[in-house]
Amino acid sequence: MIRYFRDRSQAGRLLAKKLKINYANKPDVLVLGLPRGGVPVAYEVAPVLHAPLDICLVRKLGEPGAKEIAIGAIGTGGIMLLAQDLVEELKIAEKTLKQIIVREWQELERREKVDRGSRPLPDLSERTIILVDDGIATGWSMKAAISIVKQQQPKHIVVAVPIAFPDVYEELQEEVDEVVCLIAPKPLRAISLWYEDFSPTTDEEVCRLLAENTHKLKAL
């Protein structure tokens, strides 16, 4: 199989070229990366658009024993989305589900302290928000991010990803104003298969990229 992207940075640069046409040099644009893998992609997008970069904290809820299978997602501000039909189909006990949710809330709170620190989420009202991730498989994390953003009534919401599962890509088009996606292959199988380097993104890298973007903006 031919890998389409070298790494998240290259994918971000390719995505930035596509977004630049409609969103560069617009003062109301804000780029939000989804943790963790979406932040290196968003880091390449934001300076090309001359836009600030921040993070939209969400966390996937994974099936016990197969965490890559999403049964929902949570997000900062109390957002929780649950695939109830899938939970019932997989026969996940209520006690087990509660344990998953508690564990993921604890991890989300930890990441909020590490990745955001004392910085509040920027004011999103009447702005153009570009939500960026390194890929969309089930879409639950992105749906949680969209819910967070919609709470503040932005002017325009864009989902921007290098790769997405075709069915989810079409579904998200009903949720936001625009979905920008470089490829939507069928079968997708796994996001990681389309990258040569899909190494895990660390908290340290997320913090460094967010800080570096702030310095880049000041230099523009």
pLDDT, tens digit, for every residue of 178-202? 999 999 998 888 899 999 999 999 9
pLDDT for the residue 131: 98
**% residues pLDDT > 90 (the chain):** 79
Residue type, 89: E
Q: Averaged over 65-90, what is the pLDDT?
A: 88
| Domain identity same for 196 and 90 | no
Residues forming a β-bridge with 179:
159
Tokens 């209520």 label which residue? 94
Number of domains in the chain: 2
pLDDT-based confidence at residue 79 (cuts at 50, 70, 90): very high
Q: Is 3 within a domain?
A: no
Host domain of residue 88: 60-115
pLDDT-based confidence at residue 73 (cuts at 50, 70, 90): very high
| Domain identity same for 47 and 133 | yes
pLDDT, tens only, 120-156: 788 999 999 999 999 999 999 999 999 999 999 999 9
| Domain identity same for 43 and 147 | yes
Helices (H), the chain: 8-23, 38-49, 84-89, 94-111, 140-150, 166-172, 203-219
